[in-house]
Amino acid sequence: MKLNVLCIGDIVGRPGRRVLADKLKSFVRERSVDCVIANAENAAGGSGLTPQIYDKLLRYGVNLISLGDHAFRKRDIIETLERNDNICRPANFSEHAAGRGTALYRTAKGPVVGVLTLIGRLFMKPADCPYAAADKWIPRLQKEADLIVVDFHAEASSEKIAMGYHLDGRASCCFGTHTHVVTADEQVLPKGTAYISDIGMTGAHDSVLGRKSDCVLKSFRTQMPVPFEIATGDVRVNGILVTIDSNSRQAERIERIRIDADGQDDARYDSDDGRPEYYNTF
């Protein structure tokens, strides 16, 4: 059986949420998508996730949610992480961290999609070894899921590429997140794992990683604390669409996806109460 899995890059603030609300369900219908996975660690004001936004993303059509280094930025998400099996934080966080490192979704066709989230260690905060975590969790996930998709939330391309080869033949897909910049190296690796170093960002691309460029430039040039206002121009979805054979668990095809917002009226993407969204650091 062939399954189409859509993986959506880091959702940044209200612009990212709004374009999903407007565009996701129609894309799912048009491209016969069986499962939607989204990294949502920047969905709330550019950093973190709240229970209210978690609920909204599910209503928009997202089936599985992954998080990264900002997983606990909004503390009220912790209960959601503990209670639900369709959302996960990096599995190589401390074993005492709240939530789980895997998530599961049963598709309408029957096969179960499992997501494993890992976080990198190069240029990132301390974490356990992601390769050892993959070796630990993939055999467990294989008992629960027909397909395994890995979100590797990491900074360095070399670390991501190495993870792709480490997982080749054991996961159906390994995609990178965190840099917010989509790469052009999508491929199916020799043993059948679809791979891309980074699937990019869902949000405003007339920006520096989703934040207004003048704010970020001021911070870089002055080395002073500057609030980073969420940008609102050139809003679009970045992601990949992967076709996977559920019997062999191998990927057959990977395609980069770009979905542009309609109209590009900046005011449409301001925060819900009309005030700008701010976030103080990347």
* Active site amino acids: 70
Query: How many CB atoms sit inside 10 A of residue 182's CB?
Result: 21
Per the CB < 8 A criterion, the answer to whether 228 and 219 are in contact is yes
Give just the sign of the alpha carbon dihedral 94, 95, 96, 102: positive
**Contact (CB, 8 A) for 180 and 210:** yes
Residue 7, C-beta contacts closer than 8 angstroms, at least 6 positions apart: 37, 38, 149, 151, 173, 175, 199, 239, 240, 241, 242
Question: What is the identity of the amino acid at 67?
Answer: L
* 180 marked ligand binding residue: yes
CA distances from 274 to 3, 122, 233, 266, 277 (A): 40, 38, 16, 12, 9
Q: Is 42 annotated as a binding residue?
A: yes
Asked if 175 contacts 195 with a C-beta cutoff of 8 angstroms, the reply is yes
Instruction: Write down the residue that tokens 């998508």 correspond to.
Output: 33
Here the tokens at position 253 are 């095809």
Query: Is 178 marked as a binding-site residue?
Result: yes
Q: Using CA atoms, how far apart are residues 73 and 77, in angstroms rounded to an integer?
A: 9
DSSP string, 238-267: EEEEEEEETTT--EEEEEEEEEEPSS--GG
69 is known to lie in a ligand binding site: yes
- 69 contact partners, CB below 8 Å, separation of at least 6: 41, 90, 119, 124, 125, 153, 178
Residue 270, annotated ligand binder? no
Q: Which residues make up each annotated binding site for Fe cation? A: 10, 41-42, 69, 153, 178, 180
Q: Which residues make up each annotated binding site? A: 10, 41-42, 69, 153, 178, 180
